[in-house]
């Protein structure tokens, strides 16, 4: 059993994460039925089972760790809020709220759109991150300036193509929330990645060396990283329940610009892995990432052999 971590001092920092029902719970059976037979069949299916708890979905372990950061927070001032966004109706969504109650998740706000897009409601809630199982919803959120990713489960060694492991309810003995980020086109803009893809690695290194003291532009996840960093400040650095890592294909001499950019932004990343093109998956497993964000489909497929991964469809790698 882990010892609760006491914040170093009161903080007004709040992290707001919006998540879809299909990312939080296993709703694929019902979704497949909807695709085959339509809304009425789906509605009947959910009503008949509304008192049966839904199984945990891809993002369930992550959400539990996020909400656990509220332990000891002042009443009415949670450090983290998770907002549920769903294309269900409020009627079929009752089963989802029942599952939230069953698992004791502290989620009190939700939007049910009866099939309409959910992304317009992300910004009014002030969410810094949106996680969905629907790639189109993720793209629309990114277009509207919200950090967003299509969350994909880790594949176990025995999984066949297209299948993935299901999260269980075993507790991480550390209880620490561990989030890892790619650099270019995720935390940073994609201008350097464009040089690499268009002109080659030698041109990329020359470009980054010449501009080592020129801060990189911010990518779609800069705001989320800043919010996560601010939340970290509420806890003692030596015993924080949050740990972050940069896991990038960059290597020396392209490392310098990254370090100086983060210094300019006054943002802390606990670990930085400059892998020089090595596969990221084994390193993410060694870090123990609860979730890793990357724009490259190749990196995403490699990473999800080991950890849950969010694809960020942004930048030159995602035309």
Whether 91 sits among the annotated catalytic residues: the reply is no
Extract the runs of DSSP E, i.e. beta strands, from 57-154.
80-86, 110-112, 129-132, 148-152
Which of 145, 37, 53 is closest to 96 using CA atoms?
53
Instruction: Specify the residue for token string 């670990």.
Output: 271
- Measured in whole angstroms, the distance separating CA 305 from the mean position of its chain's CA atoms is 17
CA-closest candidate to residue 110, choices 225, 19, 236, 218: 19
- The active-site residue out of 44, 172, 182, 295 is 182
The DSSP symbol for 6 reads P
Tokens of 176: 């620490």
Q: How far apart are CA 302 and CA 152, in angstroms?
A: 12
What whole-number distance in Å separates Cα of residue 206 and Cα of residue 102? 56
> How far does Cα 279 stand from its chain's mean position?
20
Nearest to 57 by CA among 92, 37, 78, 31: 31
Q: What is the largest CA-CA distance in the chain?
A: 64
Name the residue among 257, 226, 243, 248 with its Cα closest to residue 287: 243
Tell me the three state secondary structure of residue 308.
coil
Task: Round to whole Å and give the CA distance between 69 and 234.
Answer: 10
Strands 309-311 and 148-152, by their bridges, are antiparallel
31, 42, 60, 161, 248 from 99: Cα distances, Å = 17, 17, 11, 29, 37
Residues belonging to the active site: 182
């Amino acid at each position: 059993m882990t010892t609760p971590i006491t914040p170093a001092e009161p903080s007004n920092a709040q992290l707001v994460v919006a998540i879809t029902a299909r990312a939080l719970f296993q709703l694929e059976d019902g979704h497949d039925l909807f695709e085959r037979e339509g809304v009425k069949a789906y509605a009947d299916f959910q009503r008949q089972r509304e008192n049966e708890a839904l199984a945990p979905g891809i993002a369930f372990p992550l959400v539990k760790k996020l909400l656990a950061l509220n332990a000891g927070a002042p009443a009415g001032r949670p450090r983290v809020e998770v907002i549920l966004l769903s294309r269900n109706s409020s009627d079929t969504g009752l089963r989802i709220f029942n599952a939230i109650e069953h698992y004791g998740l502290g989620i009190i706000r939700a939007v049910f759109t009866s099939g309409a897009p959910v992304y317009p409601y992300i910004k009014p809630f002030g969410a810094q991150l949106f996680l969905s199982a629907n790639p189109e919803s993720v793209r629309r959120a990114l277009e509207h300036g919200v950090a967003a990713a299509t969350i994909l489960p880790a594949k176990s060694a025995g999984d066949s193509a297209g299948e993935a492991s299901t999260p269980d309810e075993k507790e991480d003995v550390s209880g620490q929330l561990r989030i890892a980020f790619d650099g270019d086109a995720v935390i940073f803009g994609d201008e350097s990645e464009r040089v690499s893809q268009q002109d080659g690695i030698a041109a990329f290194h020359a470009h980054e060396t010449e501009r080592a003291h020129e801060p990189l532009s911010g990518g779609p996840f800069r705001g989320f990283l800043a919010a996560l960093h601010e939340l970290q400040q509420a806890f003692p650095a030596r015993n924080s329940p949050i740990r972050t890592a940069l896991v990038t294909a960059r290597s020396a001499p392209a490392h310098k610009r990254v370090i100086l950019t983060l210094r300019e932004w006054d943002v802390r990343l606990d670990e930085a892995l400059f892998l020089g093109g090595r596969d990221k998956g084994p390193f993410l497993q060694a870090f123990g990432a609860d979730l890793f964000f990357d724009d490259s489909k190749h990196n995403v497929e490699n990473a999800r052999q080991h950890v849950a991964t969010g694809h960020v469809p942004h930048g030159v790698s995602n035309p």
